[in-house]
Structure 1
Amino acid sequence: MRRPRWIGVLLIALIVAGGFAFLGRWQLDRALQAREVGPRITETTHPLDAVLTPGKAIADKRVGQLVTTSVKTVPADYMLVQGRDNGGGVRGWWIVGHAVVTSGADAGAHLAVARGFTPDKTKAIDVQHRLEASAPEQLDLSGRILPTEPPDQPEDSMSGNPPQMKDLAIAILINRWTELGSNPQIFEAYLVAKNHVPAGLVAIYAPPPVQQRSIDWLNAFYAAEWVVFAGFAVYLWYRLARDAWEREIEDLQELEEASGQVAETQKVD
C-alpha cells in the first residue's frame, strides 16, 4: 500500500469518495429543503384579500404572511392588550384598533389592527385616550397577519380602567366594537402593523414565522446511498491492494516451491 502506484490509486479513490460525499450532502440538503414551510412563502407581500377571507380562519401556511391593505380607523374602539413580549424579554402593552377595510374585494370588512407597543402602562393609556379623541384616519397599512387568539376567561374579563385584555381574541373585541352594522364581515385574524405607528409607541416586534422543515425520505435515502458509495470507493482501493499483495505472496511461494524442486532434482542427479 505504500508503493507509489497504490498511493496514486488511493488519491484517485479519495477524490471519487469526496465527489460522492459532496453529492450525498447535496441530496441531504434537498431532503430538508424540498418541503420547507415558512419564510419562503410569508415574506412575499400580498394584498390582504389574496390571503384572507372574512369569516374564515387563516390557512396555516399563511400565518405571519406580509400583507398590505387600506383601512379607515374607528377611534372609539381602541383597546389595550397587556403582557405582550416585544422581543428581548421586554413586556408591555399593545394598542389595538378597529379598522374598516376600504380597498380590494373585501372593502367594508372589519379588521383588528395592532398599531404599536409600549412598556409603560401610563403611556399606553395616554396614547389610547389620544387616539380615541382623534378623527378617523385613512391609512395604507402593511404588516403581518396573525390568527385570532382564543379568549382565556377569566383572564380576558376586561378588568382595569380602561379595560385591558391579555389575549387578542377577535370574539371579545367584536362585542365592544361600534359601527359594525347589521351583517358585518369580520376577519378572524389581526394585522400587526409595520407602519403608521402612533406617536409615543414603537413598532411591534413581529419576526418571520419559525422555519419548519420536514424530511423528504426519498432524498434522504439517496443521500445515504452516496455515503455508502464513498465508503465503497476507499474499500475498493484496499481490496485491490490486498489482492495484488496476495497474488505476489502466492507467486513468491510458487517460485520458492519451484526453486526447491529444482534444487532437489539437481541434488539427486
Structure 2
Amino acid sequence: MIDQAPAEDPDLEEFPPTLREVMLRPRWIGMLLVCLVVAGIFAWLLQWQLSRALAPEVVPEGATEEVLPISEVVEPGDYLPGPLVGQRIDVTGTWDPDNFLTVSQRMNDGVEGVWVTGRFVTDEGAALATAIGWAPDRAAAQDAIEVLSATADDEPRELSGRLIADEGPVPAPGDDPYEMIRMSPAAHLGQWTDVDGDVYRQFLATTDPTAQLADAGLEEIIATAPTHESTLNWLNVFYAVEWALFAAFSFYLWYRLAKDAWERELEELAGIDPDDLDDER
C-alpha cells in the first residue's frame, strides 16, 4: 500500500500525482503560456529570416551597368552588398608611384597571365586597390610597373571600372612569400608602404583603355557584367534554423521544469520511486 501524505501538509497530494496532473496545475499552465509567448517571438524571427533568405534585396536588371560615383555605392571600410558586386563606378584620385604590385594566375579571355595593380588614392584620401591591366607574364608585368612608377604624378585622374569584392588572400604555391594569386585588398595592404587614411575593402578592375596602359604595354582587363545565379541567402537560412531550435527548446525547458517539480514532490512521499511510476504509466 502506498503511504498517504501527512494530513497537516496541504501541499502534498493524498495519493501520488502523475506527471500529467502536475502539468495541469495553474502554476505550470501559466508557465506554458509564457513559453508559448516566447516561442511565438522566436517563430516571428524565424519567418523574418526566411523572408530575407528567400527574397533578398536585388538590384534591377542592368542597374550594375550604370556608372555611379564610388561614394554612392560603398564607403571605405564597409562591405559591399552582394547585389552590387560588379557595379560600374568612377573615381577620381592619384596613383601612389611606390605601390604597384603584381597578381599571378589571372585569366584574360581564356589566357593566363599577370595583373598589374596599383594603390589609387581617392580625392578623399582613401586607398583603393586597383587592377590596372593584364600582362602575359611576370617579366612583362615588371616592365609595366617600371613605366607606371616613372610616369605616376600628382595629377588627378578619373578611373572607371567594376567594383569587386575581396577575393581573399591565398598563399602562393611557389617559394616567393610575397607572390599574390588572388586580388585581395587585405593582402595588398600588407605590402603597401606608408598607408595613411582609410582603405576600401573592395578592388577596382579598370575597364577603360587609357594612354597609360598603352605606354606600359598592358592589355585591358576583361571584366564582364555580374550574373546572379542564386537568390538564396544561406546565412539567413542558418539563422532561421537557430530560431526554430530556440522555440523548441522553450517547450522542452517547460517540460523539464515541470518534471523536476513532480519528481521532487514524489520524493516527499515515503517509498515512492518516480521510475516505478513511469513504468506503471
In 2, the alpha carbon distance for the partners of 1:112 and 1:214 equals 29
* CA distances 1:133-183 after superposition (whole Å, capped 9, x unpaired): 333252111100001111113x288828xx5310111111112212322xx
The 5 A counterparts of 1:240-251 are none
Give, in angstroms, the shift of residue 213 of structure 1. 6.3
Contact 1:38 1:211 in 2 (8 A): no
- In the other structure, the counterpart of 1:113 is 130
> Relative to structure 1, is the Cα distance of residues 113 and 159 closer, same or farther in structure 2, using a 3 angstrom cutoff?
same
SS of structure 2 residue aligned to 1:151:
coil
Q: How far apart, in 2, do the equivalents of 1:148 and 1:202 lie?
A: 22
Aligned residue for 1:138?
Answer: 156
CA contact (8 A) 1:37 1:213 kept: no
5+ residue gaps, structure 1, are 1-34, 216-269
Match of 1:99 in 2: 120
Amino acid at match of 1:125: Q
Once the two structures are aligned, what percentage of the paired residues are identical? 30
One-letter code aligned to 1:59: P
Larger radius of gyration: 1
Moved more, 66-75 or 112-121: 112-121
Give 1:80 deviation, angstroms: 0.5
1:187-226 superposed matches below 5 A = 187-195=200-208, 196=210, 198-199=213-214, 200-212=217-229
Q: 1:166 and 2:184 equivalent?
A: no
Q: Secondary structure at the match of 1:164?
A: coil
For 1:69 and 1:111, the matched residues in 2 are separated by 10
Q: Deviations over 1:197-251 (max 9, x none)?
A: 5221111010000144659xxxxxxxxxxxxxxxxxxxxxxxxxxxxxxxxxxxx
Unaligned stretches of 5+ residues in structure 2: 1-56, 233-281
The whole-number CA distance in structure 1 between the counterparts of 2:74 and 2:173 is 26
SS at match of 2:186: helix
TM-score, normalised relative to structure 2: 0.56
**TM alignment of 1:72-87, pairs within 5 A:** 72-87=94-109
* Number of aligned positions between the proteins: 172
> Does structure 2 conserve the Cα–Cα contact (< 8 Å) formed by 1:112 and 1:191?
yes
Q: RMSD across aligned C-alpha pairs, in angstroms?
A: 2.5
